[in-house]
Amino acid sequence: MASASGYFIEDLEVGQQESFAKTVTDADITLYAGVSGDTNPVHLSDEYASNTIFKSRIAHGMLTASFISAVLGARMPGPGAIYLSQNLRFKAPVKPGDTVTAVCEVKSIDLEKRRVTLSTQCLVKGKIVVDGEAIVMPPSRS
């Protein structure tokens, strides 16, 4: 059962999914570079990026992966959830203008330890660009 504050661990079920979509803009990439300190020119310079295997600028992989956090912290489980771990595999580039959809699915629930394991993916036009798994500690009714 969802509430304005998200889900309690007792309300989650294996197979349950939630998503978040965002179109990556030039401003997002520039702001992420400023916040993170990652000023790799493959993200910021059209001239530099045109000479790479990508042929144009790409978004930071961790910017793309951060949309997973939007699902876990704001939607499912949502507010009060503690993000404990995440593994990631970057499978394809994201370019300015791409719409990224982060999808998280409950894989297992450990009520005793208050841990939920979720598969985490980011997709662009149905293609997986980031694949991984997260462990979170959702709030509990008790």
What is the rounded average pLDDT of the residues 92-101?
98
End-to-end CA distance of the chain: 16
What's this model's pTM, rounded to 2 decimal places?
0.94
Domains of the chain, each with CATH number or no CATH = 10-24+60-137 (3.10.129.10)
Residue-level length of the chain: 142
pLDDT, one tens digit per residue, over 11-34 is: 999 999 999 999 999 999 999 999
